[in-house]
Amino acid sequence: MAAFIDIYAKLIIAFVSFIAPLMVYLLSVSNDGIAIVREQSVEQSNQLQQLLRAQLVESKSLKSKELKNSTKELSKLEESITRKSNLLDPKRQIIRIFASLLGALLFLMIYELGKDPAVWNFPENVLIGLLICSFGSFACGLLILKQVAWVSINTKNDIEIQATEKRNLTERGGDIIRPTT
Alpha helices in 60-123 (DSSP H): 64-87, 90-115
In degrees to the nearest 10, what's the CA dihedral of 44, 45, 47, 49? 170
SS3 label, residue 141:
helix
pLDDT tens readout for residues 49-79: 777 777 666 665 556 666 667 677 777 777 8
**How many domains, in total, are found in the chain?**
1
Q: What is the pLDDT of residue 134?
A: 95
> Which is it for the CA torsion 115, 10, 132, 23, positive or negative?
positive
Q: What is the pLDDT of residue 64?
A: 63
Q: Which residue range(s) make up the domain with 96? A: 2-177
Q: Give the residue with greater pLDDT, 66 vs 161.
A: 161
**Which percentage of the chain shows pLDDT scores above 90?**
18
Q: What is the pLDDT of residue 16?
A: 82
Q: Give the residue with greater pLDDT, 24 vs 131.
A: 131
